[in-house]
Amino acid sequence: MKTARRQTGLSLIEMMVASAVAMILLMGIAQMLTATQQFNRANSEQSDLQTAARYVFHILSEEVRQAGMFGCSKLTEDNYTSSISPFDSYAHAFNIGIQGYSKSAGAALPDELGNLTITGSDILIVRRAYELGFRLIQESNDTTLFNELVSGPENNACNSNTTDRINEICAGDVLIAVDCSKGRSFVASSVDTANNADGDQMALIEHIGINNVPGNWGGPSSDNPMDKFSLQDTLVNKAATTAYFIRTNSKGDEYIFSKRVNGNIDRNNTEELVRGVEELRILYGLDSDNDGSVDRYLASTAAELAQAETYNQVVSLKIAILVSSLNKVLLAHEIPTPAPTINYQLLDQNISRTMDGKIRRVFTKTINLRNGGMS
């Protein structure tokens, strides 16, 4: 009687079949894992794009809505004067609350921006008051404004720790005094405190300039109404001009949404705000007939905006940004050869990018200026 043979191992053929099946399963698992990782990367980058866009629009919304806001008066070329010398038509034109330039158009930029690595994007200029305003509480003399004391003195807090800071003001700061009919910008030549007739402390802001240049306002001895600021209405603020633009980093391989301030804040330093923002496009909504609604949207290169004062008709901005992921989602072998060109529509402008493995999205927002304008 024959007995059945016991199984003592796998044959070569069985091992080869089992290995092939295992390889197929492992390849499937690897592909699933790769796809899952790519999906997660894409989701993460998409989320980062949205976060970057929200932050950019948050910054611009806050700035645009404050453009031209210095007090209860809307400043124009007729009611704005300056005691700043030398006067700079870019940094000190506080009667123009908002303005635009275009790097891509090849137009000349103000000297304050000419040395920056600004890419082919629009540049938004915002002029407004910064910090808290403080009231005029006593009639000024020919050289000094007598203001309420809000903060300070902070001893040796200014100018390389050599002078005091009062009301957050240092000697050399650009200020603007505004009542309900006019405004005047000036440089604080010195800041100090003194007691008024009631024994209360006041902040003294002197405006005679260095070596008496550009001189004082005239004050009570002047017959010029532009020299007279009422006690009831006058506010004194820090004033600054801020530019928002896209620049590249030192290596030239990354785009960064940045700002540069000319005035008191940052002392003309450039601050990088948001990485990955590649393009900025702005259209300015003009209310030419003063009925409170936009008549047309124009780019900064439009002939109508050649005169800076025309920007005082702007009541709304349309802003578009192109945001890129900081990391690549597609691997090199997943990008077709040759790499295709992808077009992105930013308002009235078409922007092209060669596929490089990163994801990009266009975000748009309309921002209305405060009170429909800069009043």
Give pLDDT tens digits for 136-174: 888 877 788 888 888 878 888 787 777 888 888 888 888
Task: Judge whether 89 lies within some domain.
Answer: no
Task: Judge whether 198 lies within some domain.
Answer: yes
State how far the Cα of 336 lies from the Cα of 355, in Å rounded to an integer: 9
Task: List strand residue ranges (DSSP E) for 17-172, in order.
Answer: 80-82, 98-102, 122-138, 144-148, 154-158, 163-165
Q: Residue 219: give the domain boundaries.
A: 130-238
227 and 347 assigned to the same domain:
no
What is the per-residue pLDDT for 121? 85
Task: Judge whether 234 lies within some domain.
Answer: yes
308 and 350 assigned to the same domain:
yes
211 and 303 assigned to the same domain:
no
322 and 341 assigned to the same domain:
yes
The b-or-e profile of 193-213 (16+ CB within 10 A means b, else e) is eeeeeeeeebbbbbbbbeeee
Task: Judge whether 105 lies within some domain.
Answer: no
Task: Judge whether 17 lies within some domain.
Answer: no
- Report whether pLDDT(263) > 80: no
Query: Which of residues 203, 221, 238 is at a domain's end?
Result: 238
117 and 147 assigned to the same domain:
no
What is the per-residue pLDDT for 162? 79
Quote the number of domains for the chain.
2
pLDDT band per the 50, 70, 90 thresholds, residue 60 = very high
Structure tokens at 79: 């009611």
50 and 186 assigned to the same domain:
no
Beta bridge partners of 201: 195
Task: Judge whether 269 lies within some domain.
Answer: yes
Task: Judge whether 271 lies within some domain.
Answer: yes
Strand 144-148 relative to strand 122-138: parallel, antiparallel, unpaired? antiparallel
What is the per-residue pLDDT for 87? 84
299 and 189 assigned to the same domain:
no
Q: State how far Cα 279 lies from the chain centre.
A: 14
355 and 213 assigned to the same domain:
no
| pLDDT digit string, tens, across residues 171-194 | 888 899 898 888 898 888 888 898
Query: Which of residues 190, 212, 238 is at a domain's end?
Result: 238
Query: Which of residues 187, 210, 238 is at a domain's end?
Result: 238
258 and 290 assigned to the same domain:
yes
232 and 247 assigned to the same domain:
no
Task: Judge whether 5 lies within some domain.
Answer: no
Q: What is the pTM of this model?
A: 0.82
189 and 229 assigned to the same domain:
yes
Half-sphere exposure of 184 (CA within 13 A, CB side): 21
Kindly state the percentage of the chain with pLDDT values over 90: 21
335 and 255 assigned to the same domain:
yes
Query: Helix, strand, or coil here: 140?
Result: coil
Structure-model confidence comparison of residues 317 and 330, the more confident one: 317
Output phi, psi for 209, to 5 deg. Answer: 80, 170
Burial of 108 (0-12, 13-18, 19+ CB in 10 A): exposed
Structure-model confidence comparison of residues 132 and 109, the more confident one: 109
- Give the mean model confidence (pLDDT) for residues 255-260: 87
